[in-house]
């Protein structure tokens, strides 16, 4: 027996084991608190099942700049620029800007051939997309004036826009929204199982987050591309240069009091990674950026939850308060304060790395403390299969096996291994149950998804849970690993014309939306 040779170690192990019952209670309480603080998201799912916000046709056509950061994107950027040129929006009100960022191919040449204003940037020290956008907005400021445009669209070079995209987004902008994101579809959904998991993720976000938040006038999250913001956001330039500039912008915007709306009628297409290696690299960067955004903006969001806009000194849209306000204005200010606090809380919950906190408490309590408890008291009739999932219940019904071990070192290690086994069993059960999400999304968004053979649909459903699994484990790795930004290769030759017929069926151009504020099925 290992600890018999080290009496003091045996005493320590037994003492830790004595603490296990109390630690287990704390563990359960913390888990209940974590579940409670995010339980409100069920409301988003329910609303998103039935409704989304619609915007009435704009009364005015606004002037926009389109900004695109591209690195060696000669294979796809021409198709994006063509889809922008085919918009049904007045062309004189749209100027396209491209920053060819550290390119070694013909990206800049192709961008200019397709009518874009293109700047070239070479900087090997500052490689993120955020730095490229910062450079681009500096050039726009020098040559045009950033506020000469009322708003800016942000796209990636691999995107494609439906012909009414800018018109539909203009409806939202004309309604007074300052930051708007849009319907993100996938142009290579069926190209690989990896691409299908990404495609389902974006569609899940629409159903479980964007739609519900838009109805409640809260702040949804910006997801990298396909969004529009007012020029006041970049009045002093672009400052989001981290690994995930979209998360940083989302958090900062909400902290500053902005709503982030969603327009379900404005649809664009994105290319997803097809290689698991590329996907892992990208997800690791996302995870690191997520942690950084939580560390940088989490405290501000927490302060906002309790104090509202009291401490906002640098808000982009901060307005001077009138000395003599009407009762209606006071009520509106109160409602806005409540909205801002709720949005801040919601965004804080998005950024909080619950998976990291959960794995830490599991390792400390369920694995280590239980192991020492087993060392001191043994294992007395512990079921090999718990009832944590339907799979576990089924296996327990078939194999009602119990484990009994006497006190000592053997019980210590077996206790730890049992907890690891039960965790893996739980995850396997959740994997199977999470396939239902893919079925739900595929059914609800079937009009937007290209027709695929049944075999590929089944592969998509079976592979789908890996998306969240990868996200969870890359977040663990991101805690300790230094992550650098690397470009994601895009090679899809799909054009907007290839998708046109399907797009028309899903969302006919020219159909007028109903009045803003009306909940639509």
Could you read off the pLDDT of 8-41 as tens digits, one per residue?
Answer: 767 787 888 899 999 999 999 999 999 999 999 9
The two counts, helices (H) then strands (E), for the chain are 18, 12
Q: CA torsion sign, 141 to 143 to 144 to 145?
A: positive
The widest CA-to-CA distance across the chain, in whole angstroms, is 84
Instruction: Tell whether the model's pLDDT for residue 320 goes beyond 60.
Output: no
**What local confidence, expressed as pLDDT, does residue 316 receive?**
52
Instruction: Tell whether the model's pLDDT for residue 521 goes beyond 60.
Output: no
Residue 516 confidence class, pLDDT cut points 50, 70, 90? very low
**What local confidence, expressed as pLDDT, does residue 507 receive?**
42
Could you read off the pLDDT of 132-169 as tens digits, one per residue?
Answer: 999 999 999 999 999 999 999 999 999 999 999 999 99
Residue 246 contacts residue 207 (beta carbons within 8 Å): no
**What local confidence, expressed as pLDDT, does residue 33 receive?**
97
Could you read off the pLDDT of 200-258 as tens digits, one per residue?
Answer: 999 999 999 999 999 999 999 999 999 999 999 999 999 999 888 999 999 999 988 89
- Mean pLDDT, residues 277-300 taken together: 92
Could you read off the pLDDT of 435-448 as tens digits, one per residue?
Answer: 999 999 999 999 99
Could you read off the pLDDT of 159-214 as tens digits, one per residue?
Answer: 999 999 999 999 999 999 999 999 999 999 999 999 999 999 999 999 999 999 99
Instruction: Tell whether the model's pLDDT for residue 509 goes beyond 50.
Output: no
- Mean pLDDT, residues 333-337 taken together: 85
Backbone φ and ψ of 452, nearest 5°: -135, 155
Instruction: Tell whether the model's pLDDT for residue 358 goes beyond 70.
Output: yes
**What local confidence, expressed as pLDDT, does residue 238 receive?**
96
Secondary structure (3-state) at 61: coil
**What local confidence, expressed as pLDDT, does residue 186 receive?**
96
- Mean pLDDT, residues 392-418 taken together: 93
**What local confidence, expressed as pLDDT, does residue 518 receive?**
39
Neighbours of 113 (CB within 10 A): 12
- DSSP single-letter state for residue 208: I
- Mean pLDDT, residues 346-360 taken together: 95
CA distances from 239 to 137, 219, 366 (A): 10, 20, 43
User: What's CA 304's distance to the chain center, in Å?
Assistant: 21
What does pTM read for this prediction?
0.89
Q: Determine what percent of the chain is predicted with pLDDT higher than 70.
A: 91
**What local confidence, expressed as pLDDT, does residue 153 receive?**
98
**What local confidence, expressed as pLDDT, does residue 428 receive?**
96
Which residue carries 């649809």 as its tokens?
A: 267
**What local confidence, expressed as pLDDT, does residue 180 receive?**
97
Could you read off the pLDDT of 55-96 as tens digits, one per residue?
Answer: 999 999 999 999 999 999 999 999 999 999 999 999 999 999
Instruction: Tell whether the model's pLDDT for residue 352 goes beyond 60.
Output: yes
Q: Of how many residues is the chain composed?
A: 521
**What local confidence, expressed as pLDDT, does residue 322 receive?**
58
From 435, 353, 421, select the one nearest 388 (Cα to Cα).
421
Instruction: Tell whether the model's pLDDT for residue 510 goes beyond 50.
Output: no
């Amino acid at each position: 027996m290992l600890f018999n040779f080290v009496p003091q170690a045996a005493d320590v192990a037994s003492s830790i084991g004595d603490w296990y019952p109390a630690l287990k209670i704390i563990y359960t309480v913390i888990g209940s608190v974590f579940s409670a603080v995010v339980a409100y998201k069920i409301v988003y799912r329910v609303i998103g099942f039935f409704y989304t916000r619609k915007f009435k046709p704009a009364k005015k056509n606004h002037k926009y700049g389109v900004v695109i950061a591209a690195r060696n994107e000669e294979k796809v950027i021409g198709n994006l620029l063509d889809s922008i040129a085919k918009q049904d929006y007045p062309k004189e009100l749209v100027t396209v800007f491209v920053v060819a960022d550290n390119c070694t191919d013909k990206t800049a040449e192709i961008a200019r051939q397709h009518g874009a204003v293109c700047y070239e940037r070479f900087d090997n020290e500052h490689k993120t997309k955020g730095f490229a956008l910062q450079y681009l907005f500096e050039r726009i400021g020098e040559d045009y004036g950033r506020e000469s445009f009322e708003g800016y669209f942000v796209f990636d070079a691999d995107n494609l826009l439906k012909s009414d995209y800018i018109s539909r987004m203009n409806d939202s902008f004309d309604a007074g929204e300052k930051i708007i994101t849009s319907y993100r579809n996938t142009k290579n959904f069926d190209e690989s199982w990896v691409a299908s998991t990404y495609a389902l993720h974006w569609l899940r976000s629409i159903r479980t987050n964007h739609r519900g938040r838009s109805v409640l006038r809260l702040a949804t999250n910006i997801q990298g591309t396909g969004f529009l913001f007012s020029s006041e956001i970049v009045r002093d330039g672009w400052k989001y240069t981290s690994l995930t500039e979209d998360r940083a912008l989302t958090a900062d915007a909400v902290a500053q009091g902005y709503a982030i709306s969603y327009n379900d009628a404005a649809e664009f297409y994105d290319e997803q990674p097809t290689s698991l290696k590329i996907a892992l690299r990208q997800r690791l960067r996302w995870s690191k950026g997520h942690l950084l955004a939580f560390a940088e903006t989490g405290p501000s969001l927490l302060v906002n939850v309790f104090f509202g806009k009291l401490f906002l000194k640098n808000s982009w849209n901060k307005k001077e308060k009138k000395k003599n306000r009407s009762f209606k204005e006071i009520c509106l200010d109160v409602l806005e304060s409540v909205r801002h606090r709720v949005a801040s809380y919601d965004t804080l919950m998005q950024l909080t790395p619950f998976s990291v906190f959960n794995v830490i408490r599991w390792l400390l309590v369920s694995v280590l403390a239980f192991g020492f408890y087993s060392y001191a008291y043994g294992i007395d009739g512990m079921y090999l299969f718990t009832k944590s999932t339907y799979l576990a219940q089924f296996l327990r019904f078939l194999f009602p096996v119990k484990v009994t071990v006497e006190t000592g070192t053997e019980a210590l290690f077996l206790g730890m291994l049992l907890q690891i086994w039960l965790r893996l069993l739980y995850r396997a059960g959740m994997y199977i149950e999470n396939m239902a999400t893919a079925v739900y999304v595929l059914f609800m968004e079937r009009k937007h998804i290209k027709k695929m053979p049944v075999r590929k649909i089944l592969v998509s459903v079976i592979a789908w849970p890996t998306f969240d699994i990868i996200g969870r484990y890359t977040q663990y790795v991101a805690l300790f690993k230094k992550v650098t930004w690397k470009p994601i290769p895009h090679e899809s030759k799909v054009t907007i014309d290839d998708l046109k017929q399907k797009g028309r069926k899903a969302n006919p151009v020219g159909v007028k939306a109903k009045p803003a504020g009306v909940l639509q099925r």
